[in-house]
Structure 1
Amino acid sequence: MSFIIPPTTRLPPIKKIPYNSPQELLECLLYLRSIYNPPVRGSKRRRSDLQTVAVLDEWRSDPFERSYAIRWLTALVSQAVLCSEELNHDDALIAEAAALLAICSGTAGAGVIHRDFVFAPGAIQVRLTDAPLENQDFGSVGAQTWGGACVLAEAIVEDPLAFGLHPGTRVLELGAGTGLVSIIVGKLLEGRVTIVATDFHPSVLDNLKANIANNFAQPASVAISSTFLDWADSDNHDRSLDIPFDVVLGGDIVYDAQHAVWIQACLRKFLRKGAVFHLVIPLRPTFATESNTVESVFRDGELVVLSRETVICDAENGISDEAVEYAYYKIGWA
């Protein structure tokens, strides 16, 4: 970040907002987004500038700095008509300011959060919408982007061949959530791969479908689709799942003791013989029992753990020695 200074110093005075160019205002908004809409927790492998992270975290929790940011954003949005000529009618800039204003006021006020992901030094860009929890229905948690999906997506971008991804591959994602992993695969192999992203909860599926549509200008050129799948009743599945898949992917999808059992049943139906299921899960202390079921369920039988690696990510909360640990499993036919 080029400006390691607080919002009260970094932002231009409220009275001078109309005299700043759209580019200058956009830089201010990007700066505020880095503070008040930080990356998904535990999604960054240990490459971060921890001192910068600590400073941003301090400002994020400072009520005076947040209050000033809210007043500044309110002024920007309220002056939209007055500034129309100066802003060249840049509605997108005003929309970004309004979204940040909602985020600064609290996630509940924001309703939805837009997240931008950039992989392979700008080569692949994804914008996702994270939807709020629906009426405290924890089945809808898939409408938020979780760290495991970010870790899996980054690994795929770095070495797609290691995941068996090449032209002509059929790819299935279990518990696709916001669709980050499936969308990344689609952008890597656009027009040369078939992807089916699945989930269970209706609101999650609606958000997933919208995210897919928003990331591909010509959906017809990308063979990517989303569909309902109930792991506990996988016999009743959409016809798009009838042909076995060459690669199955799952990021942060084991948080119940039954999940590994249900996933195993799905793999028996949907994973082609000789193919591999790639699974990334966080090793959360509160879900130790659930995550341990992966190794117990896939210890013996037709489908077994082929390998296990550990991935360490910074927690992104300003505490330099705190980390989020993930297990990356390759699971395949014995």
Structure 2
Amino acid sequence: MATRQPVPPTSSLPPLARLVTYSTAQMTEAIDNLRSIYCPPALATLPRPKALPKHLVHDTSVPDSGYASAEGEESDDECDEEDAPFDIDVLRSDTFEREFAIRWLTGFAGRSDMWVYSETSEQEADARAALVDAAASLLATFAGEDEEEALTRTFSFPTSPESSGAVHVELNDAPLLSNDHTSVGLQSWGSSIRLAERMCLDPGAFELSLVRSTEPGLRILELGAGTGLLSIAAAKLLAASASTHSPVEIVATDYHPSVLDNLRENVSTNFPSPSTCPIHVLPLDWQSPVYEGALASRFDVILAADVIYHPEHARWIKACVERLLTQDARGVFWLIIPLRPTGRHAGMSDTVEAVFPRASEVQDKELAILHIDEITKQGGVGRADEGGYKLYKIGWA
């Protein structure tokens, strides 16, 4: 009989808020799934997430994902998730999934008493207690690991055939904070890589063409910038022509202090001289935004990648974009969202389409979806639970 394929923790672990409603068999299946990922019999200790070497985005010898091994060949062709072979190393090296599993095990241990003693059968209660011990043992194995180290990732994005060059970006991917699951901005995700790749290949399609020096400068805003990949790629893409065109101003924003610190470090790495750096790093709280300084004026282009992890996020982001996007014809908001078919973040693209109407549905001037492009998952890019991406072009209709 074939061994069952492990499932990512974010897609398989039951919500602890309903812990007492789950049977021993269901919880056993969840713990066994974690054990099959992180503690299979062949592994004496849990493997550390693999450090990424420097690589080209289209270099088939080294995948450009933070969760794939640098060994072995990867197809450079785009492929659907169903066509890509399952690789346990990709899942095992996924730091986001690992941190989620640790938090779940910690929560399970803290709530285990009510689950164990909700069973009236003494034999069943003993079985549940043994399962709690197994979960504690697995958690202890995680605790015995060395602290993760930051990774340096180098991307080389090909540009249009006319320019015959490449945009090089070096990023520091810091370890996720174990005490803050919302610190996902410390790492670069597949959606930002795929959008940066497209921007560099065809900047005109993303309204990133420089204007003449007699016209106002181009202003670009990134929401939830994280490691700053999109802002840095856009800045480098436009830098070559900046001397003969009007100046470019890019504002990269995020909320978490640790993410902002790492973002500033990445900007400094790519632009060592402050005098040549067009990027400003600023905090922005979508729920309670403060529009002052560089955020007091509107932007021609707004970028955001993988920024919606809760249904409220789409509503908050829309309010920010309404306030910050220029109201003339060239104003555009590019939003790319990963498609996660299962887990707590499944269906986040639906929240975008619930908040932003289609352009054909609006009568008065309103932010609306002008176009949707579905992007297939590329081998070696993105987390294990991502099946592809939706790229939204949003503007005033």
Same fold at TM > 0.5: yes
- Is the CA contact 2:191–2:389 (under 8 Å) kept in the aligned structure 1? yes
- Is the CA contact 1:315–1:323 (under 8 Å) kept in the aligned structure 2? no
Q: 1:45 to 1:327 in 2, by over 3 A?
A: farther
Secondary structure in 1 aligned to 2:171?
Answer: strand
Equivalence for 2:300: 246
1:194 and 2:249 correspond: yes
- Is the CA contact 1:253–1:281 (under 8 Å) kept in the aligned structure 2? yes
Question: How far apart in 1 are the matches of 2:285 and 2:75?
Answer: 32
* Residue identity matched to 2:238: L
Question: How far apart in 1 are the matches of 2:275 and 2:248?
Answer: 13
Equivalence for 2:179: 136
Report which of the two has the higher share of strand. 1
Secondary structure in 2 aligned to 1:210?
Answer: helix
Question: How far apart in 2 are the matches of 1:232 and 1:252?
Answer: 17
Residue by residue over 1:247-275, the C-alpha shift from the partner in whole angstroms, topping out at 9 and shown as x without a partner, is 00011111110111001100111000031
Question: How far apart in 1 are the matches of 2:390 and 2:88?
Answer: 30
Question: How far apart in 1 are the matches of 2:273 and 2:181?
Answer: 33
Equivalence for 2:155: 117
* Residue identity matched to 2:181: F
- Is the CA contact 2:78–2:377 (under 8 Å) kept in the aligned structure 1? no
TM-score where L is the length of structure 2: 0.57
Written as runs of structure 1 = structure 2, the 5 A alignment for 1:273-288 is 273-274=327-328, 275-285=331-341, 286=343, 287-288=345-346
Q: 1:41 to 1:272 in 2, by over 3 A?
A: farther
Written as runs of structure 1 = structure 2, the 5 A alignment for 1:28-177 is 39-40=65-66, 47=77, 109-120=147-158, 123-167=166-210, 168-177=217-226
Residue by residue over 1:74-127, the C-alpha shift from the partner in whole angstroms, topping out at 9 and shown as x without a partner, is xxxxxxxxxxxxxxxxxxxxxxxxxxxxxxxx9963321111111117621111
1:218 and 2:273 correspond: yes
- Is the CA contact 1:119–1:157 (under 8 Å) kept in the aligned structure 2? yes
* Residue identity matched to 1:282: P
TM-aligned CA deviation for residue 238 of structure 1: 3.7
- Is the CA contact 1:35–1:59 (under 8 Å) kept in the aligned structure 2? no
* Residue identity matched to 2:298: P
TM-aligned CA deviation for residue 54 of structure 1: 6.9
- Is the CA contact 1:108–1:132 (under 8 Å) kept in the aligned structure 2? no
Equivalence for 1:183: 232
Secondary structure in 2 aligned to 1:314?
Answer: coil
Secondary structure in 2 aligned to 1:176?
Answer: coil
TM-score where L is the length of structure 1: 0.67
TM-aligned CA deviation for residue 134 of structure 1: 1.6
Equivalence for 1:268: 322
1:295 and 2:325 correspond: no
> Which consecutive unaligned segments of at least 5 residues does structure 1 have?
1-28, 63-105
Q: In angstroms, what is the RMSD of aligned CA positions?
A: 3.4
Question: How far apart in 2 are the matches of 1:166 and 1:225?
Answer: 20
1:324 and 2:387 correspond: yes
* Residue identity matched to 1:281: I
* Residue identity matched to 1:243: S
* Residue identity matched to 2:170: R
- Is the CA contact 1:227–1:238 (under 8 Å) kept in the aligned structure 2? no
Q: 1:296 to 1:209 in 2, by over 3 A?
A: same
Written as runs of structure 1 = structure 2, the 5 A alignment for 1:305-324 is 305-316=369-380, 324=387
Question: How far apart in 2 are the matches of 1:233 and 1:298?
Answer: 20
Secondary structure in 2 aligned to 1:198?
Answer: strand
Larger Rg: 2
Equivalence for 2:312: 258
1:208 aligns with one of 257, 260, 263:
263
Q: 1:172 to 1:290 in 2, by over 3 A?
A: same
* Residue identity matched to 1:162: A
TM-aligned CA deviation for residue 193 of structure 1: 1.3
TM-aligned CA deviation for residue 219 of structure 1: 2.6
Total equivalences in the alignment? 252
Q: 1:256 to 1:58 in 2, by over 3 A?
A: closer
TM-aligned CA deviation for residue 288 of structure 1: 3.0
TM-aligned CA deviation for residue 30 of structure 1: 6.6
Equivalence for 2:49: none
Equivalence for 1:69: none
Q: 1:238 to 1:184 in 2, by over 3 A?
A: same
Question: Hey, which bits of structure 1, 4+ residues long, moved more than 6 A?
Answer: 34-37, 58-62
- Is the CA contact 2:78–2:379 (under 8 Å) kept in the aligned structure 1? no
Question: How far apart in 1 are the matches of 2:146 and 2:154?
Answer: 20
- Is the CA contact 1:312–1:326 (under 8 Å) kept in the aligned structure 2? yes
Question: How far apart in 2 are the matches of 1:158 and 1:169?
Answer: 19
